[in-house]
Structure 1
Amino acid sequence: MTDTAQPHSDLQDTTVFVLNGPNLNLLGLREPTIYGSQTLDDIAGMLEDRGQELGLEIDMRQSNHEGHLVDWLHEAQAVGAKAVLLNAGAYTHTSVALHDAIKAIKVPVIEVHLSNPHTREAFRHHSYVGMAAKGTVAGFGANSYIVALDAVSRL
């Protein structure tokens, strides 16, 4: 069994994991008045460009499965990633597992949202991810990811 709690010697201290949760694969199609018209591929391109300017490598991933997100948080720790940007989608409001995974790793996690959850339905006002994350960026559409990446560059 591999111990994912300890970083490997090949530290990736310029790599930023960008993890995206359920339904974010539908960006550009799903409720564009809330989430915008940019796709996840568009956001990945923006992050790659900004990452190059900042000397950071982007590792962008998406899954509709909570366990994958937990595994990827553990992987970020295991490889010594600089940080994780996490848009957990609806898991933000329900996942104690993501909360615990964030608390279990030393890699800083920045919670990211395209919309501002506090201006939406009441059930979106509570964030298990935000309770464990270093910080939160929300409400700036696709630019939320860029603002979060800029913050990571200063860590």
Structure 2
Amino acid sequence: MPDLPTVFVLSGPNLNLLGTREPEIYGTDTLNDIHARLEAQAADLGLRVECRQTNHEGVLIDWLHEAYVSGAKAVLLNAGGYTHTSIAIHDAIRSIKVPVIEVHLSDPAKREAFRHVSYVGMAAVAHFAGHGANSYTLALDAAARL
């Protein structure tokens, strides 16, 4: 049986605290809950997900490069606070030939003004935000159709 196409699911800083971190904004699902749902959904879509989280910007960049080198079908990226600050992540997305879909649990456009600029979004092929944990499932559906 051939390997299934892989979608990398990359999560940035503080997302390891989902479920307890500001649940009024981010909900009560943990990152492990979200990953489990994505794994089941991916199996139904004939995909495999590689789910990872880090609090370090350079690690996210290394993983984006790895997605490219490994021939990943797509990347779902929730870069957390780096979304609004990291030109290096923006450049990494533009440097790889893998479609990157930006994902956010909350809607940054409805939050503080500093969250309205997305360097990730400037390089991503699509984005899903403001749907809670469903932002990830919507993004995986979109990745399957790429």
Answer yes or no: is 1:140 the counterpart of 2:131: yes
Distance (whole Å) between structure 2 residues aligned to residue 73 and residue 131 of structure 1 = 16
Q: Would you identify which runs of 4 or more consecutive aligned residues in structure 1 move more than 6 Å?
A: none
Tell me the equivalent position of 2:114: 123
- Alpha-carbon distance, 1:12 to partner: 6.5
Q: What is the count of residue pairs matched by the alignment? A: 145
Q: Is the 8 A contact 2:4 2:46 kept in 1?
A: no
Answer yes or no: is 1:20 the counterpart of 2:11: yes
Distance (whole Å) between structure 1 residues aligned to residue 54 and residue 10 of structure 2 = 8
- Alpha-carbon distance, 1:112 to partner: 0.1
Scaled by the length of structure 2, the TM-score of the pair is 0.97
- Name which of 95, 100, 108 aligns with 1:104: 95
Distance (whole Å) between structure 2 residues aligned to residue 95 and residue 76 of structure 1 = 19
SS at match of 1:141: coil
Residues 1:85 and 1:33: Cα distance change in structure 2 (over 3 Å): same
Distance (whole Å) between structure 1 residues aligned to residue 126 and residue 104 of structure 2 = 11
Gaps of 5+ in 2: none
- Alpha-carbon distance, 1:75 to partner: 0.2
Q: Is the 8 A contact 1:18 1:58 kept in 2?
A: yes
- Name which of 44, 47, 54 aligns with 2:45: 54
Answer yes or no: is 1:72 the counterpart of 2:55: no
Gaps of 5+ in 1: 1-10
Q: What's the Cα RMSD here?
A: 1.1
| Partner amino acid, structure 2, of 1:57 | R
Distance (whole Å) between structure 2 residues aligned to residue 12 and residue 115 of structure 1 = 34
Tell me the equivalent position of 1:7: none
SS at match of 2:32: helix
Scaled by the length of structure 1, the TM-score of the pair is 0.92
